[in-house]
Homo-oligomer: A and B are copies of this chain.
């Protein structure tokens, strides 16, 4: 089955928002083995939407629209699509009851009820995050239509809860993937090690995706059932893990900080961080995860030398070695561990750019780990051509990777 994603919204044409809906739908439909061959965007304009529908109907069997299901006069998608395909609409009783409950105690403008009109014979997709329902329906001319709301939260919830289960009937296969998350080796080095296997593999396939110094190795397989898919993938995953060793920090995990927090919680341990050039980015990424306080005591952004000295870095060391040095990174890790009463301490100092200090290249960073009985420093050259945000992100990854490896040793 070939599909077209048709996004409706003038705000997309003007560039006021980026079309994450199309991306989320593309991922979800690919997962069902449905080939998305086309995406298109049209404004809130019935004449141009009809033209776009004519093009889509000619080249795709499944048409998924996003946007234009709400109550305002701009919301024209449903009426225009149903007129185009000759599908009459009726008011859906449950959608109306939900809407009236939503407005309980407040006056409901009558135009809101337009949202509850759905095509005859459709499967309604009720909206768990908003008021406008979507639907899935077959047209008299044999097309499959799916109508979804535009706000990303509503779209994603409806996709997961209603649209994907309904679409499964049109999919002859499942597509399953697993992501092996790697840190500590570049994309090209990983490709060199795995190239022969990647070229030889047909199903499952193995593909690398690089992002901010991390590589996500995606193993994807098409099979009749999920169980068969898993069985086909298991030996490939085992082989990749064998080849890459400990640069694989997890499978299907969201981030290295999530892995570190998880391991610390399992061990009942905590850590703290002193950050200079990363300026709180590590703390922020860690605390963005709910429940981080169980394993993260806190951090200090030591953005100036007096603040480094206040944390306990020796002023003589700062003078002699400079703030961008292995010695200062090590002292930051040791002091923040002591002062904040954590089991592990991380220290980060370096030059994120764009300006230089006249001594170091942009991207010169030292990350350090202090444990109850030792310290370890990793000197980094993150590239003079990297921009500030990349240097900062990579430095945080390296610091977390130091701790991740230490925790793995403790578990063995």
Contact = CB atoms under 8 A, between A and B. Distances in A.
Interface in A263-291: 272, 275, 278-284, 286-288, 290-291
Contacts of A341: 306-307, 310
A292 interface: yes
Contact of A15 (B25, B40, B272): B25
A333 to B, nearest CB: 16
Contacts of A100: none
A340 B300 CA distance: 11
A36 B13 contact: yes
Interface in A281-322: 281-284, 286-288, 290-293, 296-304, 306-307, 310
Interface string A209-241: 100000000000000000000000000000000
A37 B13 contact: yes
A23 interface: yes
Interface string A12-50: 111111111011111110100000111111110000100
B279 A288 contact: yes
A406 to B, nearest CB: 21
A203 interface: no
A39 B13 contact: yes
Given A39-B13, A290-B388, A23 B18 contact: yes
B39 A12 contact: yes
A121 interface: no
A332 to B, nearest CB: 12
Interface centre among A279, A291, A341 (most CB of B within 10 A): A279
A302 B279 CA distance: 15
A293 B299 contact: no
A300 B297 contact: no
Interface stretch (A51-59, A67-75, A130-138): A51-59
A41 B307 CA distance: 51
A300 B301 CA distance: 6
A43 B48 contact: no
A140 interface: no
A40 B37 contact: no
A284 B283 CA distance: 9
A136 to B, nearest CB: 20
B19 A24 contact: no
Contact of A299 (B39, B55, B300): B300
Given A51-B59, A279-B292, A297-B304, 17 more contacts: A13-B38, A13-B39, A15-B24, A15-B28, A19-B19, A19-B22, A38-B41, A38-B52, A40-B41, A279-B286, A280-B284, A280-B301, A283-B284, A288-B388, A292-B303, A296-B303, A298-B304
Interface of A: 12-20, 22-28, 30, 36-43, 48, 51-52, 55, 59, 209, 272, 275, 278-284, 286-288, 290-293, 296-304, 306-307, 310, 339-341, 353-355, 388-389, 392
20 contacts: A13-B39, A15-B22, A15-B25, A18-B18, A19-B19, A19-B39, A40-B40, A278-B287, A279-B283, A279-B286, A279-B292, A280-B287, A284-B284, A287-B303, A288-B392, A290-B353, A297-B307, A299-B303, A300-B300, A310-B339
7 closest A-B pairs by CB:
A279-B287, A280-B283, A15-B26, A280-B280, A15-B27, A39-B41, A298-B307
